[in-house]
Amino acid sequence: MQESIIKVRDLTKIYRVPVRAEGLASSFKSLLRPQFTDIEAIHQVNFEIASGEMVGLIGPNGAGKTTTLKILSGLMHPSAGEVRVAGYIPWERKKNYLRKISMVMGNKSQMLWDIPPMDSFRVLGEIYDVPASEFKRNLDELVSLLEIKDVLSKPVRNLSLGERMKCELAASLLHRPQVLFLDEPTLGMDVSMQLRLRRFLADYNRSSGATVILTSHYMADVVALCSRVVLIHHGRLLHDGALSYLAKGMMPFKMLRITLGTEQISQTELPPFPGGAEVISLEENVLNLRVPHQKAASITAWLLKEMEVVDLTVEDPAIEAVIDQVYQGGEA
């Protein structure tokens, strides 16, 4: 088993924010006697991540994902708890620690807008003390993998969002960090660019052995890249493990899609189904059933025996539906 490169114990972050009542008089009063309230963004979160893992950090807006990433990368101090990344306390921001990590935020840029990416790359190479031969080797590899050769001499402001994000990734990886934090890396990209970026990240993880923590509102990013997810909701850890286990825990059923030989059939003509099968929809001759996991095989056999089935598929619930169920705080 790989040694943990990230260790988080009882991580807590509390923000103190001002409270202001409505009205002019209340505004003046708050200036003279300001009142504050504490908002707990993260509450006693615990997890460990092994070297080389790709982990999805997921949750709704305001769940505490970005706050957690900022603490792990050293951009923010926690209110309580212990964190170690590559053996370092992140918020001490030691030089050797900063050489081991990198962070890409989809809505932020580390490159200057009025100069070409190549100039920013050279500056970053100097900042991280990357030897000239290593810098050239790393840059050539990243330019090839990310297909950015044609944009290196263009001012950043003239690049498309997809081109800029690829250059941001190249800039973040020039010094070969051991840990890569990605906050919404595919934000605003079209489907084709998202697919290409996912492919690059998967290849980079395999070839370099870097540890990657990814946050994204696009569940397709997480499903494609991460075998494990850490789910945070209202600042609390709700799930740490495989996506498949989350699906089984929250929605312990499978979806059956059956195409019947009869061209038109009404719901009143359907027979009673065994094993707790539930009709979700019926459109012309396409029937969708929800069935308990443990009964899926026996119900499928019954359908093939008792009904005129042309086609039948068995699927797990869409992961978006599972996550939404978690966010809503409901149960299947």
Task: Tell me the CATH number for domain 252-316.
Answer: 3.30.70
Q: What's the mean pLDDT in 253-274?
A: 86
Summarised one tens digit per residue, pLDDT across range 150-176 is 999 999 999 988 888 889 999 999 999
pLDDT tier at 332, thresholds 50, 70, 90: very low
Instruction: Give residue for tokens 């290849």.
Output: 203
Contact 221, 55 (CB under 8 A): no
Instruction: Give residue for tokens 């499928």.
Output: 300
User: What is the token pair recorded at 140?
Assistant: 């050539």
pLDDT tier at 250, thresholds 50, 70, 90: low
Structure confidence at residue 230 (pLDDT): 93
**Whole-structure pTM value:** 0.76
Structure confidence at residue 67 (pLDDT): 92
More confident site: 71 or 266:
71
Q: For residue 30, give the 3-state DSSP assignment.
A: helix
Structure confidence at residue 209 (pLDDT): 92
In the β-sheet with 211-215, what is the strand arrangement from edge to edge?
Answer: 101-105, 179-183, 211-215, 54-58, 228-233, 236-241
Pairing of strands 228-233, 236-241: antiparallel
Structure confidence at residue 251 (pLDDT): 66
Output DSSP code: residue 157: G
Look at residues 304, 292, 224 and name the one whose alpha carbon lies nearest to residue 255: 292
pLDDT tier at 327, thresholds 50, 70, 90: low
Rounded Cα gap, residues 5 and 49, in angstroms: 6
136 pLDDT higher than 70: yes
The dihedral built from the CA positions of residue 107, 112, 118 and 119, taken in this order, carries a sign that is negative
Choose the CATH number for 50-80+89-247 among 3.90.600.10, 3.20.20.140, 3.40.50.300, 1.10.150.120.
3.40.50.300
Residues of the chain above pLDDT 90, percent: 51
Average pLDDT of every residue of the chain? 87
More confident site: 1 or 204:
204
Rounded Cα gap, residues 74 and 84, in angstroms: 10
Summarised one tens digit per residue, pLDDT across range 49-58 is 999 999 999 8
23 pLDDT higher than 50: yes
Domain locations in the chain as residue ranges: 50-80+89-247, 252-316
More confident site: 10 or 163:
10
Rounded Cα gap, residues 156 and 255, in angstroms: 47
Q: What's the mean pLDDT in 282-305?
A: 90
Structure confidence at residue 331 (pLDDT): 43
pLDDT tier at 62, thresholds 50, 70, 90: confident
220 pLDDT higher than 60: yes
Residues of the chain above pLDDT 70, percent: 93
pLDDT tier at 244, thresholds 50, 70, 90: confident
The dihedral built from the CA positions of residue 330, 58, 64 and 163, taken in this order, carries a sign that is negative
248 pLDDT higher than 80: no
Look at residues 310, 268, 275, 308 and name the one whose alpha carbon lies nearest to residue 289: 275
